[in-house]
Amino acid sequence: MKARNPKTIQDQIDQAACGTSRKLYRINGAEFLLQVTPKGVKSWCYRYTLNNKTRVMGLGPVHRISFDEATKRARKIRVLLDDGIDPLAERDHKKAEQALNKTFKECAAEFIRSHEAGWKSAKHTAQWSATLETYAYPTIGDLAVQNIKVAHVKKVIEPIWRTKNETAERVRSRIEKVLAWATVHGYRTGDNPARWSGYLSEIFPKRAAVRKVKHHPALPYLELPAFMRLLENTAGRGGWVLRFLILTATRTTETRAAEWSEIDMEERLWCIPAERMKASRPHRVPLSEPAMEILRYMKAINDAHPTPSKYVFNGQTWGKHPSEAIMLMRLKHMGRTDIVPHGFRSTFRDFVAEKTDFPREVAEAALAHALQDKTEAAYQRGDYLEKRRELMTVWASFCMSG
């Protein structure tokens, strides 16, 4: 190689022109080459012949790898060649070794990064990380994913399977997803040891046998008309929000964060987008007359404000929706700390089952419940909107009959 002259070297690099096909230049008599693509992208490469086979190994792009650094990399390649070792094969071997040493924690971090954009919120991402940090990492966090077996997953899950079954299932599912991701990316091979069917199902009792279903404290439906009469006579924003929640049989978050853009006053319809729904599917809510009265009142307030809000209900700060505490405080002021807002969905469900002839699937659709029966779900195409409109009218009449 010629004596090093930085200016001469840079001039040669700058003067290396692109063509209709890839072009190679030898800069300053170096052992390696400058490669220029038809689009003008420049990178260093090393061309060698071993066992009568010519190969080209990349050394990195010019904008990131200097001539001096490329020289050092070329020397290492020459040492390997002098020992009869194929540099490309050696590089691939080291990459494979590194891949098989990838830890569960590293894979989980990459899995979360690659999926968080598609998750509902930053809170969901935080829950994913917190769950793994609390239960999985202490046992398998530093293990190479390739070495994780059923026994390791069992050690994570077993302490909480009977006492915290819902959490245990969530942990198992997340471990399974991370390991599946690792397999697809070549970091492990073989079956997934966190899979339930045929693996952990042979170790642990079924969830239904151990889980305790936690029901939200609910108001008996026979007490609802009198409760609504008291609620209607109480002042404050919490009362309006709670009444609308009851009349629409929706979840607290769906109600609190309702936006005017979701409301069609003419069609008397509330269309909640998929990203705000628990099942990640859009939900249409037919609006009864009492629900419409609340909306008309809220709209009058909003239209009269100097800066109209996008939210139907506003919290202490105008322009921001209220927290669930606003409804809990209203219940507390009414002396009903024995029930919670979400419990009114159970009140609605009990009323439909015991006091009406509406089919079960209509009631489930009104609550935006996903059907557990996969076959039944596959055949259900509509959302029973017109039947639900009738149902919500009957429900509203009962609510306001006190």
> How many folded domains does the chain comprise?
3
**Are 394 and 267 contained in the same domain?**
yes
Based on the fold, state whether residues 231 and 376 are members of the same structural domain. yes
- Residue 2 falls within a domain, yes or no? no
CATH for 390: 1.10.443.10
**Pair 114, 87 in one domain:** no
| Same domain, residue pair 136 and 17 | no
pLDDT mean over 177-204: 90
- Residue (of 312, 314, 309) closest to 326 by Cα position: 314
pTM for this prediction = 0.55
By C-alpha distance, which of 279, 110, 281, 264 is closest to 184? Answer: 110
Whether residue 114 sits in one domain with residue 92: no
275 and 388 assigned to the same domain? yes
Q: How far is CA 89 from the centre of its chain?
A: 39
Q: What is the pLDDT of residue 214?
A: 53
Question: For residue 235, is it within any domain?
Answer: yes
- Of 82, 98, 114, which residue constitutes the final position of a domain? 98
Instruction: Look up the domain containing 236 and give its range.
Output: 221-400
Beta-bridge partners for 36? 23, 42
Is there a single domain that holds both residue 203 and residue 83?
no
**Same domain flag for 264 and 350:** yes
Residues facing 43 on adjacent strands: 35, 61
Q: Rounded to the nearest 5 degrees, what angle is found at the Cα of 278, between the Cα atoms of 275 and 281?
A: 55
Residues 378 and 247 in one domain: yes
pLDDT tier at 354 (50, 70, 90 boundaries)?
very high
Residues 240 and 109 in one domain: no
Residue 310 in tokens: 């996008």
Which tens digits make up the pLDDT trace of 285-344? Answer: 999 999 999 999 999 999 999 999 999 999 999 999 999 899 999 999 999 999 999 999
Same domain, 227 and 292: yes
Q: Which residue's entry shows tokens 């840079």? A: 10
Structure confidence at residue 92 as a pLDDT band (50, 70, 90): confident
Q: SS3 helix, strand, coil % of the chain, rounded to 5? A: 55, 10, 35
199-211 confidence digits (pLDDT tens): 888 888 876 665 5
